Every structure is written in structure tokens, then in C-alpha cells.
Amino acid sequence: MTDRNPTPSQKVLAWMPLAVMAVIAVMDVSAGPGVGLLPLVSLGPAFAGLVGSWRRTALIGVLALLLCTALGLYNGLFAERRGYAAMASVAGVTGVGVAAAVMRSRRETELASVRSIAEVAQRVLLRPVPLTAGPLQLAVSYTSAVAEARIGGDLYEVVASPLGVRVIVGDVQGKGLAAVEAAAVVLGAFREAAYDEPGLVGLGERVERSVARELQGERFVTAILAEIRGDHEVVLLDYGHPAPLLVRRDGSAQFPEPPAYALPLGLSAHGAEGPRPYRVAFTPGDQLLLYTDGVTEARDRDGRFYPLAERTQLLKEPDVHRALEALREDLVRHAGGPPGDDAAMLLLRYRAHGSGGDTGFPR
């Protein structure tokens, strides 16, 4: 694979084989034939096989053979076996370098294919949330723990049902395709039940049954479910997930905690009581941020956790998407790069109304 926009480090690695051969040639000419530096010319194709394509490796190998021939003739080494031994060394290393470049190229192609499939799978799984739902404005952010990664275990969904706006944010134990499979089970059950299940508790129970039936072993999913209707309240159901951040219109903030903590989804076999719903006032001008623990557990270089409660001023931006993007950028700066765990955030902003009593929610 070749990079159309190589980084500075890649450019350095690309020129390294030629630089190494040039240095060896200068040293060999300066030191004379008695030192025996000629076989070191094979370092050129050796380095090329680690970073370049097989064609480039073969080309550098040919250049190395020509250089070895020229130095051998200059030093008079072909009158004895040393010159031919150096040529054989360069030819052998070139062959190994070409084989290594071919194998590396195949692995890179396979890895790119797997990443592409994983990215498509996650895009299908995590569909874009609606820009608005009733009087709510919505924005979502997903930051992977690894810059090159395209797939993780966090999940989110928003369903504008006849019963109100229903939301889920969750975090699957583990990573990779197994985590995606678990997330698909949770989201599939939630999307189906959110439209017709009368109560939030019943909705959570249906998701729990699907997770318990489909997931194997001790895999579990922490999740928080939310329901917003036209009564200026949000109903929350917490399955072992971090409490959401509620930012009031006046700028004050709080983390509404559940009355009792419950086990995550998938652990109902342990016989613990399920979560109890709790209500929190949610009025025009308020904002509700649902997130995964990759946000609050992101650490800086000194080991300090991300102070989410101290960053609420970033959410004052009038545009909800820019507000959440500012928060995401601040999180990345705090962690000095991608956080140590996947970080998903879903921001719900209750638009302030003018005169009139229409809430904008389905009745």
C-alpha cells in the first residue's frame, strides 16, 4: 500500500535506504579495501523491504548491486572472493526484502479491507440521529480510543415515537466485532420496542430479555434510557451507566443520580432487582448530555480525570453541533490525543419557546 499523502516520518523512512548506501559508499572509499565495509551495502534493500513496496525494494536492490560492483572494482576486490561474496550478500538480502515487502503489502491490504468492513458495519449500526425531535435539538459525537480504529463498543440511538422521544446510550464490555454484535442486539431490541412499549420500564425489560437471550458468557452492556414527553420532565432508567449531565438554562449543572443502582444489561441471571425509573425536571432552555465512561475517565498526563462538570460553559454555543464539537475537542486536548476508551456523547437541547403552550411533542 502507498500513502498518497505521506507523513514526514514516512518520507524519512522512504529515503533511508538510499542514505544508508550513500554513507556506506563514502566510508568504504575513505577507509579503503582493508576494512571490509562492502557487504554493508545490503542494508539498503533490507531497509527498503521494511517500508517500501516490492517494486521499490527490487529497484533499490539493483542500485545496491551496481554500487557494490562499482566499489568492488574501485577497491580491486573481484581479483579475490570478497567482491563476489559481497555481491551474493546484496542479492540475497534483496530477495528476502522483496519477499518481506510482498507479505507486508498483503497484510496491509487485508487489514484495510477488514477496517473498511468494520467501518461500514458500524455506520449501519450507529445511524445518524435526527437533527430535531419535537422541540429538541440533538447532536452526537463519537471518539475512538485509537486514532486508526473504526469500530468500538459504544452505542446510541434516538427514536421519536408516538409516546415521546426515547433515547439510549450504552457501552458494551469489550471491543471489536464481538462488541459490535452485542451493540446490534441492544439497538435492534431498543428500536423495535421504543415505538410501541407503553412504559420505559417495559422498554428496558424487553431490551434486557434480548440481551440475556443473545449474548454469551459474562458479556454485559451498561446503558441509560431516557424518555422525554410534553410534561417538562425526563424519565431516566439507569443500567449501571454514568449519570447524565443536566445543564439548566441559568448555567447551573447537576448529575441526576438514580434512586438505586442496578446491574448492567445482560446480568439479569444474577437475580438482582432491575432499575427503577426516576424523573428529573427538563424544561425549555435546559440541556441533557448522555455519555459513556470514556468521557469522564479520560486522564491527562498527570492522571487527572476529565472535569466534565467544569466544562459546561462550552455548551453555551448557540449551535448545538458546534457546542458538542467544542466539548469533544476539549476532551481530546485534555487526554493529549484519543482518550483511553471510546467516548460517545449525545446532547439533547430543549429549545426555548415563545408564547403558546404547544410543547412540540406527540400527544
The residues spanned by each domain of the chain are 8-120, 129-350
Model confidence band, residue 146 (pLDDT cutoffs 50, 70, 90): low
Grid cell for residue 261: 443502582
In the block, which residue shows the cell 451507566?
A: 241
**Which pLDDT value is given to residue 314?**
95
Distance of CA 260 to the CA centre of its chain: 32
Residues belonging to the chain: 363
- In this model, does residue 168 exceed pLDDT 70? yes
- The neighbour count for residue 69, using CB atoms within 10 Å, is 17
The Cα 119–Cα 150 span in angstroms is 5
Strand ranges for the chain from DSSP E: 132-133, 136-143, 154-161, 164-172, 221-228, 233-239, 245-247, 253-254, 278-281, 287-291, 343-350
Model confidence band, residue 330 (pLDDT cutoffs 50, 70, 90): very high
Mean of per-residue pLDDT scores for the chain = 84
- Per-residue pLDDT, averaged over 257-267, amounts to 90
Give the CATH architecture of domain 129-350. Answer: 4-Layer Sandwich (3.60)
Model confidence band, residue 344 (pLDDT cutoffs 50, 70, 90): very high
Mention every residue, 6+ apart, whose C-beta is less than 8 A from residue 292. 154, 169, 170, 171, 241, 242, 341, 342, 343, 344, 345
**Which pLDDT value is given to residue 37?**
76
**Which pLDDT value is given to residue 7?**
67
Quick check: pTM over 0.85? no
Contact between residue 170 and residue 157 where contact means Cβ atoms under 8 Å apart: no
Q: Which strands make up the sheet holding 253-254, listed edge to edge?
A: 132-133, 136-143, 343-350, 287-291, 245-247, 253-254
Torsion sign across C-alpha atoms 40, 45, 49, 51 = positive
